């Protein structure tokens, strides 16, 4: 397992989970994971408290990720108190398992080296600019999150130790060659025989459904006939795109905007710099002598990047030839900035620069002069932007008028429609759980089924959707109810008739099956067998129920038989005559092996956590 742990410290699972760590860090800040700023706790794992502040941040992080994944649909999930209560319990359980894994990693002595930690930090895209690690961005992000590099290092050490331990557990599972071969043989197995279907329609004229049976089914299954409340809306809609189409922008307006805003169309000068740092240490004079020596070697023709890699005390930038990235004001030490901006040509190197960190040599590695985009290149964009801005102003004014008019005249939409030139439209029937497309936005549904609209027959509040604003009122409404027997009688009759016909088809298929098993021939001319030739376990042209039953059947030296009901109600009888063992595919061996290992890894993780929880002292206070 230790070999797997060492390999896993650089493996893809670590990289994936590190990404998740950074996502959590971006949402919550590492301070949440370090347990600071909380007066109580939601759980205690052995002696380690999981603070309420940490839990709430983790919970909000989970909510945020689900909102990003599900969009507006998450609002419907969030309205379910039981669902959200279970989600909170799941988040807490996840945090408990993480703490147990960290403790186990500590007990068995798993720890990441400083060198690997440093390399992982350098590889995190959140700390990179243009694919390269940016030390200033790194420090700025840490500072914004309210903690030091040491705090982040300790946090990352704990998380990576946990990940390495889990990698050792999950990555230690394996599949033996004969197991992989056996699975391949089973999945690649093919079977032959024949089958015949007995159509349910043959028995339609034998069906007898009485009024009593219909009524009994109706009264015994009332909930099946419950109709959810539904509403049909009358509404007026203000569309932003319609407003944009009314805006006309003159050529003089476009030119005036270009002339009045020169900075908008001028690109700034871009500079990138690299440096070599010699820290003061205990002897500033010795440090100065050392930087002078490096400067002399540069003047003799040695490469700046090579010297930075070999001599710079800035270990992060030194490995990249001293590159610090884009030079901007207030992003570096002021002395470095002044030196970088003083360089005139790409490739120029400054004299010795003193900063609070030590002595530097600064090189201008990139210089892109400022440029101004021509009017012809941006004319269309300016026209579009002016039209967009004017449309937003007009749209906002119309929104306010629509809201005011529908509020002042709450029992009609006609006044607002006439004054604003809108058309009163009518929706199809809308149910909360099955709203038709275009009427399924949770914000619209909330207003449509509000008491004002549904019960008081008033206009709704203004509903702001994406580039549309609506006001709705009830055109017709039906409350939730059990549908009358007269409404559903025909449906019940059809259902019961179908059930009877399926039962008759199944009984007839079973009688034919008994004949085959007794060695008798089937004389019914309406029963025609179709050959099954080397059918695969997955896919193929066989009906799904036939294929599944075919591969469930035991094989013997003689033919075996079975009956099954198909998805459409037809019955089928199946004869299995031949089984062809699957042939292992060397090209698929790794995939099958990973499949087995993945299943076993999941079981191993569950077993590990169950074992740790059984031995730990866990107090939950959620």
Q: Report the CATH number at residue 319.
A: 3.10.50.40
Cα 234 to chain centroid distance, Å, stands at 37
Out of 369, 401, 427, a domain closes at: 369
Within 10 angstroms of residue 460's Cβ, the number of other Cβ atoms is: 22
591 located within any domain: no
450 shares its domain with 535? no
Q: Could you give the CA distance from residue 165 to residue 202 in angstroms, rounded to a whole number?
A: 64
Out of 430, 455, 479, a domain closes at: 479
Q: Nearest to residue 237, comparing CAs of 528, 23, 473?
A: 473
19 shares its domain with 159? yes
185, two tokens: 């043989």
292 located within any domain: yes
Q: What is the DSSP string of 276-312?
A: EEEE-TT-HHHHHHHHHHHHHHHHTT--HHHHHHHH-
145 shares its domain with 20? yes
pLDDT of 27? 37
435 shares its domain with 512? no
Q: Could you give the CA distance from residue 77 to residue 269 in angstroms, rounded to a whole number?
A: 50
422, two tokens: 């809108």
* Beta strand extents in 506-559 (DSSP E only): 530-536
- Rg of the chain, C-alpha, whole Å: 37
433 shares its domain with 491? no
324 shares its domain with 350? yes
Q: Nearest to residue 259, comparing CAs of 382, 370, 381?
A: 382
Residues found in the chain:
622
CATH code for the domain of 611: 1.10.4030
Q: Could you give the CA distance from residue 614 to residue 506 in angstroms, rounded to a whole number?
A: 51
Buried b (16+ CB within 10 A) or exposed e, 402-423: bbebbeeeeeebeebbeeeebe
24 shares its domain with 54? yes
Q: Give me the half-sphere count of Cα atoms (radius 13 Å) on the Cβ side of residue 275.
A: 32
Low-confidence ranges of the chain (pLDDT < 50): 1-38
pLDDT of 157? 85
Q: At what angle do helices 114-123 and 149-170 cross, to 10 degrees?
A: 100
318, two tokens: 């030194």
pTM of the model: 0.46
589 located within any domain: no
393 shares its domain with 316? no
318 shares its domain with 354? yes
CA-CA-CA-CA torsion sign (36, 13, 1, 120): negative
255 located within any domain: no
24 shares its domain with 141? yes
Q: Give me the half-sphere count of Cα atoms (radius 13 Å) on the Cβ side of residue 299.
A: 10
pLDDT of 28? 43
275 shares its domain with 305? yes
Q: Write out the residue range of the structural domain in which residue 397 sits.
A: 229-245+380-479
Phi and psi at 47, nearest 5°, equal -105, 5
Cα distances (Å, whole numbers) of residue 50 to 32, 439, 557, 620: 10, 43, 64, 10
* Structural domains of the chain, count: 4
Within 10 angstroms of residue 478's Cβ, the number of other Cβ atoms is: 13
- Cβ neighbours of residue 521 under 8 Å, at least 6 residues apart? 515
Q: Nearest to residue 618, comparing CAs of 97, 257, 162?
A: 97
164 located within any domain: yes
204 located within any domain: yes
Cα distances (Å, whole numbers) of residue 478 to 200, 236, 369, 438: 38, 22, 69, 21
Please tell me the chain's helix, strand, coil percentages from 3-state DSSP, rounded to the nearest 5. Answer: 55, 20, 30
36 located within any domain: yes
Q: Could you give the CA distance from residue 535 to residue 191 in angstroms, rounded to a whole number?
A: 5
250 located within any domain: no
136 shares its domain with 275? no
Out of 427, 449, 479, a domain closes at: 479
581, two tokens: 């063992």
């Amino acid at each position: 397992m230790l070999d797997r742990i060492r390999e896993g410290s650089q493996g893809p699972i670590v990289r994936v989970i590190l990404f998740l760590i950074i996502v959590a860090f971006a949402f919550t800040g590492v301070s949440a994971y370090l347990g600071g700023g909380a007066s109580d706790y939601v759980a205690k794992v052995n002696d380690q408290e999981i603070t309420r502040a940490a839990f709430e941040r983790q919970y909000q992080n989970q909510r945020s990720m689900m909102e990003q994944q599900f969009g507006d649909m998450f609002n419907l999930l969030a309205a379910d108190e039981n669902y959200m209560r279970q989600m909170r319990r799941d988040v807490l359980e996840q945090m408990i398992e993480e703490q147990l894994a960290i403790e186990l990693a500590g007990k068995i002595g798993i720890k990441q080296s400083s060198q690997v930690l440093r390399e992982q930090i350098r590889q995190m895209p959140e700390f990179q600019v243009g694919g390269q690690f940016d030390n200033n961005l790194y420090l700025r992000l840490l500072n914004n999150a309210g903690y030091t590099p040491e705090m982040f290092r300790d946090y990352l050490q704990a998380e990576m130790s946990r990940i390495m331990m889990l990698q050792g557990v999950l990555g230690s599972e394996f599949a033996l060659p004969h197991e992989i071969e056996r699975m391949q043989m089973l999945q690649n197995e093919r079977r032959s025989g024949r089958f015949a279907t007995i159509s349910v329609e043959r028995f339609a004229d034998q069906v007898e459904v009485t009024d009593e049976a219909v009524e009994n089914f109706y009264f015994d299954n009332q909930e099946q006939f419950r109709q959810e409340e539904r509403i049909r809306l009358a509404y007026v809609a203000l569309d932003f795109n319609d407003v944009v189409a009314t805006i006309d922008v003159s050529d003089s307006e476009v030119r005036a905007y270009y002339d009045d805003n020169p900075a908008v169309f001028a690109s700034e000068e871009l500079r990138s710099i690299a440096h070599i740092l010699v820290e003061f240490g205990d002897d500033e004079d010795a440090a100065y002598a050392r930087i002078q020596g490096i400067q002399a070697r540069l003047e003799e023709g040695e490469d700046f990047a090579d010297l930075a890699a070999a001599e710079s005390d800035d270990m992060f930038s030194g490995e990249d030839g001293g590159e610090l990235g884009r030079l901007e004001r207030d992003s570096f030490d002021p002395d470095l900035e002044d030196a970088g901006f003083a360089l005139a040509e790409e490739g120029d190197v400054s004299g010795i620069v003193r900063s609070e960190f030590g002595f530097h040599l600064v090189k201008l590695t990139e210089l892109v002069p400022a440029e101004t985009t021509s009017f012809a290149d941006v004319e269309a964009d300016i026209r579009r932007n002016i039209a967009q801005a004017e449309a937003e102003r007009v749209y906002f004014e119309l929104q306010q008028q629509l809201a005011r008019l529908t509020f002042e005249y709450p029992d009609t939409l006609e006044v607002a429609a006439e004054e604003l030139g809108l058309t009163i439209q009518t929706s199809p029937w809308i149910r909360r759980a099955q709203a038709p497309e275009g009427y399924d936005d949770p914000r619209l549904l909330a207003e449509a089924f509000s008491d004002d609209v549904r019960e008081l027959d008033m206009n709704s509040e203004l509903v702001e959707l994406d580039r549309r604003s609506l006001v709705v009122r009830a055109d017709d409404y039906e409350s939730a109810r059990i549908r009358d027997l007269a409404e559903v009688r025909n449906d019940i009759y059809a259902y019961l008739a179908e059930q009877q016909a399926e039962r008759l088809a199944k009984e007839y298929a079973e009688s034919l099956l008994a004949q085959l098993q007794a060695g008798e021939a089937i004389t019914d001319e309406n029963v025609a067998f179709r050959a099954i030739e080397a059918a695969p376990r997955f896919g193929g042209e066989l009906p799904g129920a036939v294929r599944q039953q075919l591969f469930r059947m035991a094989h013997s030296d003689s033919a075996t038989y079975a009956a099954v009901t198909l998805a459409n109600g037809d019955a089928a009888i199946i004869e299995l005559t031949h089984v062809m063992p699957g042939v292992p595919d060397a090209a698929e061996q790794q995939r099958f092996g990973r499949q087995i290992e993945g299943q076993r890894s999941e079981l191993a993780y569950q077993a590990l956590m169950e074992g740790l929880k059984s031995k730990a002292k866990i107090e939950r206070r959620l």
